[in-house]
Amino acid sequence: MADAKRPKTYSFHPEWEEDYFFVYSNSKPICLICKASMAIPKKGNLERHFKTVHKKYERDFPAKTELRSRKVRELKTQLAAQQSVFTRSNTKGKAATMASYRFSHVLAKHKKSFKDGEVVKEAFIEATDALFGEFKNKTEIVSTLKDMQLSRNTVTRRCEGMAEDV
Ligand SMILES: [Zn+2]
């Protein structure tokens, strides 16, 4: 009887991947079909979502068939690809922010006018184009550089931020 009062914990069951097209990612069940995430891995919720929202899948990919297994695998691959693009662009953003801090720091150290930041960036992009011309991911390198915020206001803000840190 005492057990009934304890908060119930739910855990994701791997067979739900094929039963309801759900995977467990970042501690949440995610629907492979519409990418919706559920707050808790509760069988009833996943089942209801699948059977009401994705009736068509239930019909077109009958449970316990090779057809369904294949579809689930295909959707899982797609989801993984999407997630890795997301992580990559996130890392890229962080790198650009870090670079713009370093640029700002060098400018401040040499007491350069803040508007020099844009000139330096332009020179850097030009040089990169020449240096990495033969690299397969050159476009990615150049676009990362272009993402770098070095406008006058940003540089001023960054330097103020750094002064406060010191
Ligand atoms: Zn869904």
**What does the pLDDT read at residue 161?**
64
CA of 84 to the centre of ligand 1 (A): 20
Q: Are 84 and 55 in contact, with CB atoms under 8 Å apart?
A: no
Candidates 67, 72, 31, 69; CA nearest to 52 is: 31
29 alpha carbon to ligand 1 midpoint, in Å? Answer: 11
**From the CA of 38, how far away is ligand 1's center (Å)?**
10
Q: Which two tokens stand for residue 2?
A: 């005492």
* Distance (Å) from CA 92 to ligand 1 centroid: 30
Cα of 26 vs centre of ligand 1, distance in Å, is: 17
Q: How far is the CA of 4 from the centre of ligand 1 (A)?
A: 31
Bridge partners, 28 (sequence order): 25
- pTM of the predicted structure, to 2 decimals: 0.57
What is residue 125's predicted lDDT score, i.e. its pLDDT? Answer: 82
| Nearest one of 89, 86, 120 to 105, comparing CA atoms | 120
pLDDT by residue for the chain (166 residues), tens digit each? 545 566 678 899 999 999 999 999 988 999 999 999 999 999 999 999 999 999 999 999 999 999 999 999 999 999 988 888 777 777 777 777 777 778 778 888 888 776 777 787 888 888 888 888 787 777 877 787 777 776 656 656 665 666 655 5
Q: Tell me, what's the pLDDT at 152?
A: 58
Residue 62 is encoded by which pair of tokens?
């009958």
Q: Are 29 and 21 in contact (CB under 8 A)?
A: no
